[in-house]
Copies of this chain bind each other. A is one copy, B any other.
Amino acid sequence: MENYKPLLELFNAHLNSYLKELDKKQPRELYDPENYILSLGGKRIRPLLALIGCDLFDKNPSHSLNAALSVELFHNFSLIHDDILDKAPLRRGMPTVHSKWNTDIAILSGDVMLVKAFDVLKNYEATKLSSLLNLFASTSIEVCEGQQMDMNFETQQNVSVNDYLQMITYKTAVLLGCSLKMGAICAEADTENQNHLYEFGKHLGIAFQLMDDVLDAYADDGKFGKQVGGDIIANKKTFLLLKAFELADAAQKNNLTALLNEKDSTLKVKGVLNVYDQLNIKNISEKEADIHTQEALKHLKAVTASESKKKELERLAMQLLNRQS
């Protein structure tokens, strides 16, 4: 990420001036939560991708600052509302908005952030705005659909591996593709380049989520940010679990089903990992992630832009995919 420091600093300065304006607005119950969640930090991957999508075509990345702000506002809106749905008490080690304030305020301050994600686009020249709105609105709808699919999976029987891939594509991946493409639109890149960047981001997002599933089960405790095995303990229908059910024979299926009800979490994690190992699930999942990584890189390769800038973006992608190392 080191080489992207100037772009990140550019975005952070823009975000700070946005937050400064926000400080002047009323009612505070609506805007304090927005300021709070935007100040919790995070890697700012989506706005960075928007800036990169512009910079790739040698346009001043400041042209894409409001597009970058838009995707960051949308992402943070979705965090506030998802945290309500997940009943999550903490986000980045700090109280979630609905815990710190209350659910009503979390709903309404999320709503206003969603509106602002559109509002900050308004000063783009009309033709650009039209392209940006088309893409951003469709993507936002898909993200909501992905979130609802994820909620449905909790109680739904017979979720297939394909259902899961569709869900993570919508819930996680399309916003990464959208961020890059919005940057490319700001740079007035041609449609083909825009679409290659979108596909690069989307497949990168899918690979990223698959590797996240693998890490949740297999990371070294100290290096992974979350509790290892958390997905297994929560019976989360990850790629790993769904693939295991798909490949399991009758005995392994019974074993897995029994393990879903196991109360001792150490035994549970050990038991499930044992079935995963029998079925080679780690390797299969990494291969699936690799298919999407390769697909992503194929699209990046097809983008007409400087080789060194493309190489830099490839390095960023690789870093994101190997977060543990």
Inter-chain contact B112/A122, CB cutoff 8 Å = no
Quick check: is A313 within 8 A (CB to CB) of the other chain? no
Q: How far is the CB of A61 from chain B (nearest CB, A)?
A: 23
Inter-chain contact B133/A115, CB cutoff 8 Å = no
Mark contacts of A67-94 with chain B using CB atoms, 8 A cut-off: 1 yes-contact digit, 0 otherwise.
0000000000000010011000000000
Inter-chain contact B130/A122, CB cutoff 8 Å = yes
Interface with B: A145-153, A214-222, A246-254, A292-300, which one? A145-153
Determine which of B85, B112, B129 lies in contact with A126 in the assembled complex, contact meaning CB atoms within 8 Å. B129
- In the complex this chain forms, how many copies of it are found? 2
Inter-chain contact A112/B29, CB cutoff 8 Å = no
Inter-chain contact A108/B85, CB cutoff 8 Å = yes
Chain B neighbourhood of A107, CB < 8 A: 81, 84-85, 107
A66 to B108 alpha-carbon distance, docked (Å): 25
Q: How far is the CB of A141 from chain B (nearest CB, A)?
A: 5
Quick check: is A119 within 8 A (CB to CB) of the other chain? yes
Quick check: is A162 within 8 A (CB to CB) of the other chain? no
Inter-chain contact B141/A27, CB cutoff 8 Å = no
Inter-chain contact A138/B119, CB cutoff 8 Å = yes
Inter-chain contact A29/B108, CB cutoff 8 Å = no
Chain B neighbourhood of A105, CB < 8 A: 148
A111 to B110 alpha-carbon distance, docked (Å): 9
Inter-chain contact A148/B29, CB cutoff 8 Å = yes
Inter-chain contact A29/B134, CB cutoff 8 Å = no
Quick check: is A114 within 8 A (CB to CB) of the other chain? yes
Q: How far is the CB of A259 from chain B (nearest CB, A)?
A: 27
Inter-chain contact B148/A30, CB cutoff 8 Å = yes
Inter-chain contact B104/A85, CB cutoff 8 Å = yes
A27 to B153 alpha-carbon distance, docked (Å): 11
A27, A151, A152: which has the most chain B beta carbons within 10 Å? Answer: A27
Quick check: is A144 within 8 A (CB to CB) of the other chain? yes
A205 to B315 alpha-carbon distance, docked (Å): 56
9 contacts between A and B (CB under 8 A): A27-B145, A27-B149, A30-B145, A107-B107, A114-B114, A114-B115, A115-B137, A119-B141, A122-B134
7 nearest A-B pairs in the assembled complex, by CB-CB distance = A119-B137, A126-B126, A112-B144, A126-B130, A30-B148, A115-B140, A85-B104
On A, residues with C-beta under 8 Å from B are 26-27, 29-30, 81, 84-85, 103-105, 107-108, 110-112, 114-116, 118-119, 121-122, 126-127, 129-130, 133-134, 137-138, 140-141, 144-145, 147-149, 151-152
